[in-house]
Structure 1
Amino acid sequence: MSRPLRWLRLLALVLVVLLALLSVPLLVVVGRRAREVAARVVFRLVLVAVGVRLRVSGAAGLATRGRGVLVVHNHVSWLDIVAVSAVRPMRALAKSEIARWPVLGWLVSAGGSVYVDRAGLRSLPATVARLAEVLRGGSAVTVTPEGTTWCGLTHGRFRPAAFQAAIDGGVPVLPVALRFRLRAGEATTAPAFIGADTIVDSVRRVVALRGLALEVHVLDEIAPGRAADRRELAALAEAAVDTVLAPAPARHPVRSELDVAG
């Protein structure tokens, strides 16, 4: 891609960031529905700014409101939460560091995120209990249960801890599969946020790509009571995501060791 277009995309992203900064005070005082609309607009503008086309299948599964649901998806890039929120803004179970990220952290926090301390395993039961409470209250919450970003053919194993919250809350689990493709249709992991990467490194790679698309496949819900325990529930969700990702070719099958919330 030409250097001028890369700089144009970076400039567009900066403008979206400024717009988001200006909207933060407004998000505090407006109603929940207005906050969701504003957040969806900002997240979609981020995708447009960096040249990512959003392709969604099964979006009706995210449209139901008024009841709790645990939304779980594979995790490759910082763009994942942007894409899911561009379809439907929702609360997230996120690593505590995200709260300190500029713009994205503020938007995620404004959405009522539940934060988890990755270094403090003793706090995990309290985090799961808090997540179950939020789900019982009728909120949709998105979780990345792999525990790491994953740069490769499929994804990492789904850890069962967060699924206990769905069981305790008596809510369904909604699996979502995310996949990046280039213009020619081949899967790519170029946008991955891994290892020693900074978010700036990832952004630079993304804006340099031509014809990048992010597919969001919303799959069938897993009803409460279908699984005997959290491990079986995690396995069911992982198998559902596999039905989309397993057949896909990938270009850079490298596993990341970067811990993320999940």
Structure 2
Amino acid sequence: MSVWLPSAPCTPGACVERTGAATAVPRAVLRLLAVSSVLLAGIALLPVGRLLPAGAVRWWCRAVVRASGVRVRMSGAATPPGGVLLVANHISWLDIPLLAAVRPARMLAKSEIRQWPAAGWLTARSGALFIERDRLRALPDTVARIAEALRGGSAVAVFPEGSTWCGRAQGHFRHAVFQAALDAGVPVQPVRLRYRLVDGGSSTAAAFIGDDSLLASVWRVVSVRGLMAEVEVVDPVTPGSHPDRRSLARAAQSRSCHGRTGEHTAD
């Protein structure tokens, strides 16, 4: 197996708990229709998407999550202007709109996402950078394209674990993508993502892991009552503070795991 094809030990059968009260089927269906409607609205606006203010894009991303019945709580300071590498732990398909709600960014996505219904087409049209994870030789070119986007002032969003985890455990941040931030001389902005029940502790209901299908994961999310997504934007790692990609990756993961925030904002 390629070193760029990390895998998590998490599986739906072993890790996903159906905690909390399940929503009645009619309500779950309504949520599913609401998510579809918000996605279709985003597709309709794609031709003028680059003209929309960042605030409108962030609002739409949060609307995707809210339409699925998930409350959103965001904390921490705003991301720095200009080019920035956004990095976060990876649990769910919900992570993608949640990270874009922090700051609209070009997403680094696995090439398989192109095949996802609706969401794959939307991701491709949004300016995402795709990586073929089974072709290690393509990695340097991908890093170079990320660095070019960062130099141009874009934010690029990455899940450096390379695979989704259930949320109880977390994988190691892969080093390669951090070379792009070093080459471009831009900050790295870690983001911590967690899912929990409003009236309880952490929840794995949102996890999209193992042999889960996208439809099964979406249905599980819209069927759970009282699910909340917590997004913690922690202090950025400044350019020049780490000499190589390994130490930079370790610093970013440490902040993503433990959290070090500035001012607090909540939804």
TM-score, normalised to structure 2, is 0.83
* Structure 2 unaligned blocks of 5 or more: 1-22, 261-267
1:137-156 equivalences in 2 (<5 Å): 137-156=152-171
Deviations 1:77-110 (A, max 9, x none): 0000111112322111111122333332333333
Structure 1 pair 126/112, CA: closer, same or farther in 2 (3 Å)?
same
Q: Are the equivalent residues in 1 in contact too, given 2:234–2:259 (CA < 8 A)? A: no
Name the structure 1 match of 2:174.
159
Q: Are the equivalent residues in 1 in contact too, given 2:186–2:238 (CA < 8 A)? A: yes
SS in 2 for 1:174: strand
1:97-116 equivalences in 2 (<5 Å): 97-116=112-131
SS in 2 for 1:175: strand
Q: One-letter code of the match for 1:2?
A: A
1:6-85 equivalences in 2 (<5 Å): 6-27=28-49, 32-34=50-52, 36-58=54-76, 60-62=77-79, 64-65=80-81, 67-85=82-100
Q: Are the equivalent residues in 2 in contact too, given 1:72–1:143 (CA < 8 A)? A: yes
Name the structure 1 match of 2:20.
none
Find the partner of 1:173 among 188, 193, 198.
188
SS in 2 for 1:125: helix
Name the structure 1 match of 2:25.
3
Q: Which 4+ runs in 1 deviate beyond 6 A?
A: none
Q: d(CA) in 1 for partners of 2:194 and 2:179?
A: 26
- Aligned positions, number: 238
Aligned-residue CA RMSD in angstroms? 1.8
Deviations 1:126-145 (A, max 9, x none): 11011111111111111000
Q: d(CA) in 1 for partners of 2:149 and 2:78?
A: 19
Higher relative contact order (CA 8 A, sep 6+): 2
Aligned-residue identity in percent: 52
Alpha-carbon deviation of 1:33? 4.3
Alpha-carbon deviation of 1:35? 6.5
Structure 1 pair 152/37, CA: closer, same or farther in 2 (3 Å)?
closer
Q: One-letter code of the match for 2:162?
A: G
Q: One-letter code of the match for 2:163?
A: T
SS in 2 for 1:150: coil
Deviations 1:40-93 (A, max 9, x none): 3432221121101111001x332x33x111110000000001111123221111
Q: One-letter code of the match for 1:52?
A: V
* Structure 1 unaligned blocks of 5 or more: 246-262
Q: One-letter code of the match for 1:24?
A: L
Larger displacement relative to structure 2 (182-191 or 95-104): 95-104
SS in 1 for 2:177: helix
Q: d(CA) in 1 for partners of 2:39 and 2:148?
A: 32
SS in 1 for 2:200: coil
